[in-house]
Each structure stands twice: as C-alpha cells, then as structure tokens.
Amino acid sequence: MTKLNYLDDTYLFESSAILIELRENEKGKVIILDKTIFYPQGGGQPADHGEIISENAIFSVTDVRLNEDGTVWHFGKFKSGEFQKGDEVTLKIDKNRRILNTELHSAGHLLDCVVTKMRIENLKPTKGFHFPDGPYVEYDGTIENPVELIPELEKTINGLIKQDLKIEKNDLSPEEAREQGVWAPLGKPARIVGFAGFPTCGCGGTHVNSASEIGKVIIRKIKSKKGKTKIAYSIEK
Ligand SMILES: [Zn+2]
C-alpha cells in the first residue's frame, strides 16, 4: 500500500519517495511509490498533476488513481531518462492546481453547511463534483422556487467564510468506522471531516485549514426537479 502523505498536509507540494514498481498498462506507464503527495482522483476531486524526478529521469504525471489494492498509480510519461526500481525520487505537484482543487472541494463542504444553517431540511447531500469546469453539489430532495434562494445562499456562505470556520478532521479506527457506517477504500483511513459546528461526513479529499482560504463563493445556478436539487457554484479571490 502507498502511504498517503497528502492526508497529513494539504500544502506539502514537494517531498521524496522510493520507487517500488514501474508498470505499463493500456493507459501508459505507471509509477508506484512507497508514499505520495499526489492526490488520486476520487470523491469528486480531480487528481494532482506534477513531476517525479530522479537523478537520471523526469516523469510527467498526468493522472493519479488509487488502485483497489491500496497502491497509488501515477500515470504519465517520461520527459527524459528512465527510472529503476529502488530509485530515490523527488515528487513535485502542481501547486496552483492542488490549491484550486482543495478550495473548490472545501467550498462544496461549506455549501452543505449553508443548507444546514438555512434549515433546508429536506435536502440531503448525495454527490459532489468539484472540478474547475462547473463544480456543483447535488442533493436528494427538491425545494420550491429554487432560484429565489440564490441571494440568501450566497450571503450565508460568504458569511461563514468571513467567520473563518476551521476544518476539523478525525481518522476513525476500523471498529469506529464500522460502527459509524463510514466507508473508505483499502489504503485510506476512514476520515470524518467538517467545518466546526456543522455536521460532518466521511471524506478523503484535500481540505483548506479554514474557510477564509476559499475566498468568495458565487452561487451560479440552482436546479430543483425530479427529486433532486443541484447547486452549481464557483469561487473567486
Ligand atoms: Zn472533503
């Protein structure tokens, strides 16, 4: 299994690792390391991009996935040279991409807080899409006149940002995870995440330390029909 260093520090953009295995499949070359700061795509958050560098080679990482055996697969291609098993390598992730993905993902959590705060009780979060091209959170349940809610949603979410709410994280033991019904893939701890004072949820993404890092949230669109409500948003500085 690959140790997931990004879970300890969202803002660690460079680190080192040992190359465990070099593979190739239909998606191209695969690098497996003993530990990584690269976020594997999942939970509505895109993968990190960046480079893996040894003394003799540079590998450009264009996709990252958590394999079902708990290893992280770094996909991409060599810009120069080749790696050998056992190589000591330096990992560098695209800092701006990580920060944007982290802020968009964290804004999704904050939107859930706002739905709770505004007591829109019939909405239950089901799905988040936190990619830069049109992020949204989808809820089970519908509301009347959804578009009229936009100004209040925006005011409430940006009010929480001004309060600079802290993110709280707690990794559960396997027993606690079972008891609380929190699922996590093999190799990832079952982690409970939430803004202070609001309901928490199981999440393995990368998060800001506190809400002010997000900047400002714009509510772009709300659609509420066929039993589902979709709230689309963006962030700006
Ligand atoms: Zn999260």
Q: How far is the CA of 167 from the centre of ligand 1 (A)?
A: 10
CA–CA separation, 102 and 54 (whole Å): 27
Strand locations in 26-166 (E): 28-33, 35-36, 50-53, 58-66, 72-80, 88-93, 124-129, 136-140
pLDDT of residue 119: 77
Q: What is the pLDDT of residues 98-145, one digit of tens each?
A: 999 999 999 999 999 998 888 787 888 899 999 999 999 999 999 989
CA-to-CA distance for 10 and 210, rounded, in angstroms? 12
Task: Work out the average pLDDT over 161-181.
Answer: 93
Going from the Cα of 32 to the center of ligand 1, the distance in angstroms, rounded, reads 25
Pairing of strands 216-225, 228-236: antiparallel
Separation of CA 200 and ligand 1 centre (Å)? 10
List the shell of residues around ion ligand 1, using CB closer than 5 Å: 193, 203, 205
Within the chain, residue ranges assigned H as helices are 95-117, 150-162, 174-180
DSSP state, 164?
Answer: T
Q: What is the pLDDT of residues 69-105, one digit of tens each?
A: 999 999 999 999 999 999 999 999 999 999 999 999 9
pLDDT in tens, 160-169: 999 999 999 9
User: Helices then strands (H, E): number in the chain?
Assistant: 3, 15
Residue 162, phi then psi, degrees to nearest 5? -60, -35
Classify residue 68 by its DSSP letter. T
Report d(CA 150, CA 203) in Å as an integer. 26
pLDDT number for residue 167: 96
Query: Which pLDDT score, from 0 to 100, does residue 121 have?
Result: 72
pLDDT, residue 50, reads 98
pLDDT in tens, 2-58: 999 999 999 999 999 999 999 999 999 999 999 999 999 998 999 999 999 999 999
Residues 34 and 18: beta-carbon distance below 8 Å: yes
Q: Is 153 exposed, middle or buried (0-12, 13-18, 19+ CB in 10 A)?
A: buried
- C-alpha 212/C-alpha 136 separation (Å) is 20
- 182 CA from centroid of ligand 1 (Å): 13
Residue type, 109: H
CB neighbours of 67 closer than 8 A, spacing ≥ 6?
73
